[in-house]
Each structure stands twice: as structure tokens, then as C-alpha cells.
Structure 1
Amino acid sequence: MSRTVYVNGKYLPEEEAMISVFDRGFLMADGVYEVTTVLDGKLIDFDGHAARLERSLGELDMAAPCDRATLLAIHRELVARNAVTEGLVYLQVTRGAADRDFAYPEGVAPSLVMFTQAKSLIDSKAAKTGMKVISVPDIRWARRDIKTVQLLAPSMAKMAAKAAGADDAWLVEDGQVTEGSSNNAYIVTADGTLVTRDLSNRILHGITRAAVLRFAREAGIKVEERAFTIEEAKVAREAFITSASTFVMPVVEIDGARLGDGAPGPVATRLREIYIEESRKAAV
């Protein structure tokens, strides 16, 4: 049975879903997106994702397709119609359909497309074994804080990792790690300090990142928000990534250098447990 998807006010079988060939998301990558986790049929940190969506739209002077309450209702309806107990809800907002022009069109309604992905997130093999990452140059544009649909550079980084026999790539700019290809990056230093890149236009302001840092501080873990190098990461006690689709995922190898004993470390393991437990409590 096919999924039900949402396209501009209509719930449709995925085979019948269509968008204009003149949509600016297709022609110009003129759009933003969000991905919200579903656990036990409920949404994780919906307000955080909605707030970031609103910020992205504002940064691009793009109209919102609906208010937050309506957006929540659509999320819940899609989860129910597709009987998703564990997985993701993806949404994309574009500036809408207009004849091709670099200038923003006037009087055009934004497009909203949403769909679900059923996926096993908690019972993850990678969470038990850890991930291997490589480093690649960060060739993305300068406004990574806006969650746009311009994802070709991250896709290229993922493919470079795959070709190297790794699971993912960490992006490096001016000698320092910005983030992973689709996630935020962290290390745990020899003295147990958790280090991750500070917020700026150079990285995405991760919703999972914010929650994990809050939980880490509540657990008494020292946190430093600063840049770090690949060389520093290679000699770290632990490393991990966070995202809506991976939660907290341990990294056990960076550019061929094994971290610790090559197994997921206690900090990443514990933060993953806390994140899942607390997220389930607060799910809507």
C-alpha cells in the first residue's frame, strides 16, 4: 500500500502527488525543509522544528504556508494515515511556482509538501558498533544556519565517505570541523569535556543538538562550544554526532584513526539513552 502524502492542502496517494515544473524549489533550490522524529506514534520536539522553520523562512523573506497549529495538525494526520509508530516526517516549503527568474516573484503562494518515512531509529546497529567518518572540505554556501534544500554538497560528502568505506563525512573549513554531512559533530576530550562547534552562520542550529547539550549539562558533563580540528578529534576519548534521524550516534574512527578501544564510549552511550528517554516523555 502506498503512503499518503500532503501537497498544498491535499492528502494524496504518493503516486498521484505532483508539483509544478515551475516550482522554485525545483528550479532554484529556493526552499527550506525540516525533519521531525516520530517515536511511539508521537512527534519529538515539534516546537523546536517549527521555530527553526519559521526562522529559516524569515531569513529568506519567504511566506509561511500556514500557522504552527495547522502544521502540527498536518503532521499528526500524516502519522495517523500512514500508521507510523517510529520514523520521520519530512516537510518542504518553497517560494512557490513562477516563471523562471532570479528575482523573487510577487503574489505567489508558497508550496508545502510533506511525507512520512517509517524507519527503525532506536534499535540501530550503528549505535551499538559506532560509525566511521572521513574528513572532506566544506564546500557549502555561507548560510548553513538556514535549513535549505540545497543538499548537493552534503550528498557529495556522503558519497565520498561511501567510496572510502566509511559511514559519513565531517566537513572541514579553515582547518576546523564545521559539522557532519547531515548532523552536528562532537568530541569528548581526555578530561571528559564535551566539545562541539559554537552556533553561527557556519553550522545548522540543530534541534537535537540543543536538547543533547541541555541533557549533558544537567548530567554534570562539562560542555565547551568551540571549534576543533580533525587532529584534535583523532586523539579524543570519544566522538559522536546528533540529528533528528540518528539521535546520538557514536563515532569510533576518524580518517582511519581509531578512537579509544574502537567501541562506542560511555558518554555517547549515556547521552543517547537520556535523549530517547526524555524525548519520549515530552513527545506530542
Structure 2
Amino acid sequence: MGRLAYVNGRYVPHGHAMVHIEDRGYQFADGVYEVVPVVDGVLIDEEQHLDRLGYSLAELRIDWPVRRAALKLILRELMARNGLRRGIIYFQVTRGVAPRDHKFPCAAKSALVITTKRLSPPSAAMIQDGVAVSTQPDIRWARRDIKSISLLPNILAKQAAVEAKAFEAWLVKADGIVTEGSSTNAWIVTKAGEVVTHARNHDILGGVTRQALLELVTSAGIKLVERSFTVTEAFAASEAFLTSSSAFIVPVTRIDGKAVGNGKPGPITQKLREIYVEGVDRQIRAAS
């Protein structure tokens, strides 16, 4: 059997999966999503991702499409049917199908779509050499803490970064503050050895990998500061890196063509990646 998707209660061939033309996700981007990494058949940080889904749904006043426990069963069933051992599982909830009108519909039922995708971990070259980022204006809406499916500004920033031969875009406000990446969280390590990342507020998405790493940084005895930092500070940093659910921790060695530190992944970044991967391994062992 080929790859399957889950669409509103049915497991269907991925190539034939579809939603109604008046689904509000299609019409208005009126919905939210989550992406959970899968390693050795285990959903990594699953509860934290479901917590964030609940937060996003509540902020947009969208009902859960199924109970949390039922969603967990559906995720595992789709993974099993698709034989997913390493990759990601994507799930999206919209306000549902209703005649096109800006105001909330009275009787629409929230819609649920789930897909899986096989992914390899970051290449050895990415970890050993680091990646480049390109700074781009942050033109997103003011509620970046909600994991909305409305991602056009992120897409434009990512495309600009790709065209600049960079792996990722770091989004910058008019005052020069770096908020986060187009699909990642942004970090620097100062010359004093402080790990710095933007504080969690409406300006950034509270990344699940970001949060897990915050706890690990503290337990490892590394000094952590949650505050905003500027592009100028990033240029002067000794190290930089990014975090995401799909790539975990990736060193950043060039920003806008300028080398970060000595142009190689730094020792703190390497240590944090090792610590995080150990944490993932513990989750896998616990699930066995």
C-alpha cells in the first residue's frame, strides 16, 4: 500500500487526499498546525507539541477536532500504516468548512488533516561546517506566538535566503532586533560564553526544541540569557546556532556572508547538540 494521509476521519491515499474548496484554511488561512519529529518510530516531545497545539487553538477560538487522546492514537495509526520510523508527522486543524465569510461560522466543525514525511537528519557537513543565514525584514503579523498556517511572510523570507545562498533567514525588526528564523529559533553565544535567545512573547513562536534546550542549558551549568539581540550583536558573537523540530540544533557559521567567530561551529554549540541528542535517545529508550 502507498503512502496514506488522514483527512477528517478517513485514511486515504496521499495522492487523492483533499479538502473542500470552502475549508477556511484554504480560504482564509484560518487554522493552526504542528510538526512533530519522529526518531526510531517515537514521537519526540509529543506532549509539548500537543500543549502548543492546544494553546494555538485556544488563542484562535478553534475547537479541538477530536479529543487529545484520540489524536495521539490517530498519529500512531498513520505512522504505522506509512511505516514511518524517521521523519516528521504534520497535523493541521482549521475552523472547518463554511460559506466564505470573514466572521466565524455558527456551525462549522473544525477539520483535521495529517500527513507523514520521511526525513534524514542534518548531514554531517551541516553539523561539522555549519550553515549560513541571511537577515531579512520581519514583516509578519503581531501574534507570532500562534502556530498559524498563514506563513506567506516566512515563505518570502526563506526564498530570499535561498536566493542569497543561505540555509535560513533570520527575521529582523525595524529596530535591528533578531526575532527568529523563518522556520527556526535563533541563538547566539557571546564572547563571555552566555547563550542568548529571544525571550518568549508574541514576537516569536515558542519552539518546542527551543524550550527543551533551555532546560538542558540550565542543567549543564551554561549561563543562559533570554533577551533580544541585534544583528550587530550577532556579527560580534563567538558562536551562533538555530533550533527546530526537524533539525534539532544546527551551527550557524556565516551571517550575511560574514563569518561568526572563527567561521567554524563552536564548542558550546557542539556540546548543546550532544546534550540534546542524548535527551532524544532517553525518550526513545523510555518508549521502548
Q: TM-score, normalised by structure 2?
A: 0.96
- For residues 181 and 124 of structure 2, the distance between their equivalents in structure 1, rounded to whole angstroms, comes to 19
- For residues 263 and 224 of structure 1, the distance between their equivalents in structure 2, rounded to whole angstroms, comes to 23
Match of 1:61 in 2: 61
- For residues 78 and 271 of structure 2, the distance between their equivalents in structure 1, rounded to whole angstroms, comes to 32
**Preserved CA contact (<8 Å) 2:131 2:251:** yes
Q: Is 1:181 the equivalent of 2:143?
A: no
- For residues 48 and 83 of structure 2, the distance between their equivalents in structure 1, rounded to whole angstroms, comes to 23
Match of 1:246 in 2: 247
Going from structure 1 to structure 2, the CA distance change for 1:91 and 1:124 (only over 3 Å counts) comes to: farther
**Which runs of structure 2 are paired with 1:125-140 in the superposition (5 Å)?**
125-140=125-140
Q: Give SS of 1:166's match.
A: coil
Identity rate, percent: 50
The alpha carbon displacement at 1:51 in A equals 0.4
**Which runs of structure 2 are paired with 1:63-78 in the superposition (5 Å)?**
63-78=63-78
**Preserved CA contact (<8 Å) 1:137 1:172:** yes
- For residues 168 and 123 of structure 1, the distance between their equivalents in structure 2, rounded to whole angstroms, comes to 15
Q: CA offsets, 1:167-196, max 9 Å, x none?
A: 111001121000001111000000110000
**Preserved CA contact (<8 Å) 1:240 1:248:** yes
The alpha carbon displacement at 1:126 in A equals 1.5
Aligned length: 284
Going from structure 1 to structure 2, the CA distance change for 1:124 and 1:114 (only over 3 Å counts) comes to: farther
Larger mean CA deviation between 270-279 and 185-194 belongs to: 270-279
Amino acid at match of 1:227: S
Larger mean CA deviation between 255-264 and 208-217 belongs to: 255-264
Match of 2:25 in 1: 25
5+ residue gaps, structure 1, are: none
Over aligned residue pairs, what C-alpha RMSD do you find?
1.1
Q: Give SS of 2:206's match.
A: coil
**Preserved CA contact (<8 Å) 1:44 1:280:** no
Q: Give SS of 1:157's match.
A: helix
Going from structure 1 to structure 2, the CA distance change for 1:242 and 1:56 (only over 3 Å counts) comes to: same
Q: TM-score, normalised by structure 1?
A: 0.97
The alpha carbon displacement at 1:122 in A equals 5.4
**Preserved CA contact (<8 Å) 1:238 1:260:** yes
**Preserved CA contact (<8 Å) 2:188 2:195:** yes
Q: Is 1:210 the equivalent of 2:211?
A: yes
- For residues 73 and 129 of structure 2, the distance between their equivalents in structure 1, rounded to whole angstroms, comes to 37
The alpha carbon displacement at 1:124 in A equals 4.7
- For residues 34 and 203 of structure 1, the distance between their equivalents in structure 2, rounded to whole angstroms, comes to 15
Amino acid at match of 1:128: Q
Match of 2:50 in 1: 50
5+ residue gaps, structure 2, are: none
**Preserved CA contact (<8 Å) 2:238 2:262:** no
Q: Give SS of 1:250's match.
A: strand
Q: Give SS of 1:190's match.
A: coil
Q: Is 1:282 the equivalent of 2:283?
A: yes
Match of 2:195 in 1: 194
- For residues 9 and 272 of structure 1, the distance between their equivalents in structure 2, rounded to whole angstroms, comes to 38
Q: Give SS of 1:270's match.
A: helix
Match of 1:273 in 2: 274
